[in-house]
Every structure is written in structure tokens, then in C-alpha cells.
Amino acid sequence: MKLQDLLSEQVIRVPLLHTKKEQIIEELIDLIHQSGKIKDRDLALAKVLEREHVMSTGMGEGVAIPHAKTEAVEELAAAFGITRQGVDFAAMDDKPVRLIFLLVGPMDPTGPHLQALSRISRLMHRSEFRDRLVECPSAAAVLEAIALEENSL
């Protein structure tokens, strides 16, 4: 599974409009909802926030991956945003977050959801790639950077 297959300019926002974790999650949910991939926006939002309250999805190194499984979608959907400044996401390393991938997957099957989480984690492990993403001025530039990185793996 490639991220470039899950993302489009429609579900990428550079920069994100909000500066608080919950508002950013809602902003990204709204992007996916506007793309037509969420049947029940409020349910999807509630599930992602519920998951976030159980344990932060701030993975460290300036990256967060809020996610949830929900009946609100029929297939895996994603959104991505870059903040202008760091946001407190209660990350494992206590560092602020600037790169946020949001995933919502159906209750079954689990495979695509886990594959996408793994793919994001793998890509975000490279500091040079994270630095390139933070500097992207547009959704098109984000897609191009992700495609280049994925194709080099």
C-alpha cells in the first residue's frame, strides 16, 4: 500500500488552519468528509478523538498519526496536514508536532489500516524526508515529495 494512492490534493492542507490538537483532527476529518469518503462525519470524528484520548498518536520527531476504525467509512481514507508552528500532541518525545497524517478505516478488514500505519511510520523515520515535507508550500508539493520518497524505497 502506498500513501500516494490514499492521498490527493483534496485531502491535504498546507498549512493547517488550526493550532490545537482537537481542532486539527476535526479539520482533517472535514477534508476527508468533503472528499465524499466519510458517511458519518460526527461518528468518524468521535472515534478518532476517543482513540486519541486513550493514548496520544504523537509518535515523536514532529509527527502524529491520529487514527481510528469506524463504521463511518467503507474503505480506508486518509488526510494530511502541515502546521506553521509546532503543536502539542502529547508526543512520546514531548516535542511539538508539525506533520499530521489522519487515517480512518472500516471495522473490517484490519490489514489495510495497519499497512498504512506501518507505511507512514517507515517513511517518517527518515529525518531528511520529514524536513522536506515541512518545507512543502502546497498540497501538490506534498504529493510529489511522498511519491519520490515512496518510489525510492
Catalytic annotation, residues: 67
> DSSP 3-state helix, strand, coil percentages of the chain (rounded to 5)?
45, 20, 35
Three cell numbers at 47? 472515534
Assess whether the previous peptide bond of 106 is cis (omega < 30° from 0): no
Kindly write down the DSSP assignment for every residue of 75-103, as one continuous string: S-EEEEEEEEEEE----TT---EEEEEEE
